[in-house]
């Protein structure tokens, strides 16, 4: 398995392979960049088919965190970790403590947090071995509502740019995924008077959205062609692809899901169709912004964190305007802006 000449290797500062025979821990920690501050990014527990799959994931995700943190204006770098194994069988306090000891050896160049299949309870166990964790219970708490607030602000910024007004009353938003972010997002949109079209594999969540927000429910595949002004992907990655983009009736794509574009060129495909795309790692930064406020020496403040999350509106307007003037897709412009911030070595 090649690392330094791997296609996903992007001058990562450290890629650490960790194993602990006693607990069965097999993990990879990738520190992509500490140029702006300590690398922060969650730990994902996944039953990867091969070690190579785990490496690809951690290399990509850690680079993504560098860009996300830079664009959010945070004094943080980018990192990520993956634990290889079945979430139903591998979890134990001993395993998470062994992982914590590995994180500790990096002396604070990487801070871990929750991600797929990792709960705040698991992170508390990691925390028994190292202070280099974020997103603990009883501190900044559930990031979902902050991610939802940022996504809501991002949708308003996109409406401002595309329709000339940030007012969403009377606008129709199609939401894919009513989980811990999607449901809070529906609440904001409903409160402002938007009409909602929703889908989820979880029928209970759909029923709640219909009852509480008067949403119209559609089938899983019908969400792309829904008669909506805005499509908000809030479930899976790679839902913007060759099959779905031609179906979209919405003029805006703005949602919280990670890695929405299946491939980078799908950003250009959206632009060619006249659809305004809010780059995922910019619009969904509310959660990491909230976590960053927990990490400050002066301690957490929900008020200050909320104010920073609200800035996602202006960041997106800057991206949209620059994309227009440079005749490039918004996803390309976001990457260029992130690279500029990282090259400068400090956040705005
Ligand atoms: N939670 C956060 O703060 C946060 C921050 C940044 C990005 N994100 C991203 O936002 C997305 C949603 O996160 P979340 O925390 O709400 O997750 P979640 O697991 O709570 O919710 C996801 C929802 O999507 C639904 N879903 C799964 N497959 C589906 C399908 N094929 N069609 C429709 N619905 C489907 C699930 O049933 C669930 O209700 C993910 O991509 C996540 O990576 C979340």
Higher pLDDT, 180 or 156: 156
Q: Which of 26, 68, 80, 156 is catalytic?
A: 80
Within 10 angstroms of residue 339's Cβ, the number of other Cβ atoms is 13
Q: Exposure pattern of 197-211 as b/e (b: 16+ CB <10 Å)?
A: bbbbeeeebbebbee
All domains of the chain in start order, with CATH: 14-64+77-127 (3.40.50.10860), 144-284+314-342 (3.40.50.720)
Is 9 a residue whose pLDDT tops 90?
yes
| Confidence label for 116 from pLDDT (cuts 50, 70 and 90) | confident
168 within 8 A of 194, measured Cβ to Cβ: yes
Residue range 43-85, pLDDT digits in tens: 999 999 999 999 999 999 999 999 999 999 999 999 999 999 9
269 within 8 A of 244, measured Cβ to Cβ: no
Q: How far apart are CA 175 and CA 197, in angstroms?
A: 6
**Nearest CA to 38 among 65, 72, 8, 60?**
65
What pLDDT does 280 receive? 97
Is 348 a residue whose pLDDT tops 60?
no
Q: Is 88 a catalytic residue?
A: no
Is 236 a residue whose pLDDT tops 90?
no
**Averaged pLDDT of the chain:** 96
| Confidence label for 120 from pLDDT (cuts 50, 70 and 90) | confident
User: Of all residues in the chain, what percent carry a pLDDT higher than 70?
Assistant: 99
What pLDDT does 265 receive? 97
Is 204 a residue whose pLDDT tops 60?
yes
Residue range 240-291, pLDDT digits in tens: 999 999 999 999 999 999 989 999 999 999 999 999 999 999 999 999 999 9
Q: What is the DSSP letter of 245?
A: G
Cα separations in angstroms, 182 against 3, 76, 115, 271, 301: 36, 26, 17, 25, 24
Burial class, 129, CB count within 10 angstroms (exposed 0-12 / middle 13-18 / buried 19+): middle
Q: What are phi and psi of 138, to 5 degrees?
A: 80, 0
Measured in Å, residue 183 CA sits from the centre of ligand 1 at 10
Residue range 312-335, pLDDT digits in tens: 999 999 999 999 999 999 999 999
pTM of the model: 0.94
Which residue has a Cα nearest atom 19 of ligand 1?
179
Q: How far apart are CA 105 and CA 108, in angstroms?
A: 8
Measured in Å, residue 105 CA sits from the centre of ligand 1 at 32
The Cβ-side half-sphere exposure at 343, using a 13 Å CA radius, reads 6
Which residue has a Cα nearest atom 25 of ligand 1?
177
Is 130 a residue whose pLDDT tops 80?
yes
């Amino acid at each position: 398995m090649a690392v330094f000449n791997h296609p996903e290797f992007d001058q990562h500062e450290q890629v650490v392979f960790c194993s602990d025979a006693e607990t069965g821990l097999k993990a990879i920690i990738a520190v992509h960049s500490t140029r702006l501050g300590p690398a922060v990014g969650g730990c994902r527990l996944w039953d990867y088919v091969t070690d190579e799959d785990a490496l690809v994931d951690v290399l990509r995700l850690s680079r993504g965190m560098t860009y996300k943190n830079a664009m959010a204006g945070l004094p943080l770098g980018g990192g990520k970790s993956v634990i290889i194994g079945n979430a139903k069988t591998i979890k134990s306090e001993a395993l998470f403590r062994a992982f914590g000891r590995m994180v500790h050896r990096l002396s604070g160049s990487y801070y871990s947090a929750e991600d797929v299949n990792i709960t705040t309870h698991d992170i508390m166990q990691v925390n028994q071995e190292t202070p280099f964790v974020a997103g603990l219970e009883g501190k900044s708490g559930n990031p979902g509502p902050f991610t939802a607030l940022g996504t809501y602000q991002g949708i308003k910024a996109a409406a401002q740019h595309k329709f000339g007004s940030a007012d969403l009353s009377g606008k129709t938003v199609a939401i894919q995924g009513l989980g811990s972010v999607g449901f809070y997002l529906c609440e904001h949109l409903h409160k402002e008077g938007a009409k909602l079209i929703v889908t989820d594999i979880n029928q209970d969540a759909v029923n709640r959205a219909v009852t509480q927000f008067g949403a119209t429910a559609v089938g899983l595949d019908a969400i792309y062609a829904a008669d909506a002004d805005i499509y908000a992907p809030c479930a899976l990655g790679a839902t913007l692809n060759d099959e779905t983009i031609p179906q979209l009736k919405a003029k805006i794509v703005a949602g919280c899901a990670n890695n929405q574009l299946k491939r980078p060129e799908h950003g250009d495909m959206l632009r060619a169709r006249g659809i305004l795309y809010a780059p995922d790692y910019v619009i969904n930064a509310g959660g990491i912004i909230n976590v960053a406020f927990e990490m400050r020496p002066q301690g957490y403040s929900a008020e200050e964190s909320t104010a920073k999350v609200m800035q996602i509106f202006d960041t997106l307007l800057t991206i949209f305007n620059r994309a227009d003037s440079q005749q490039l897709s918004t996803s390309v412009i976001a990457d260029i802006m992130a690279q500029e911030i990282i090259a400068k070595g400090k956040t705005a």
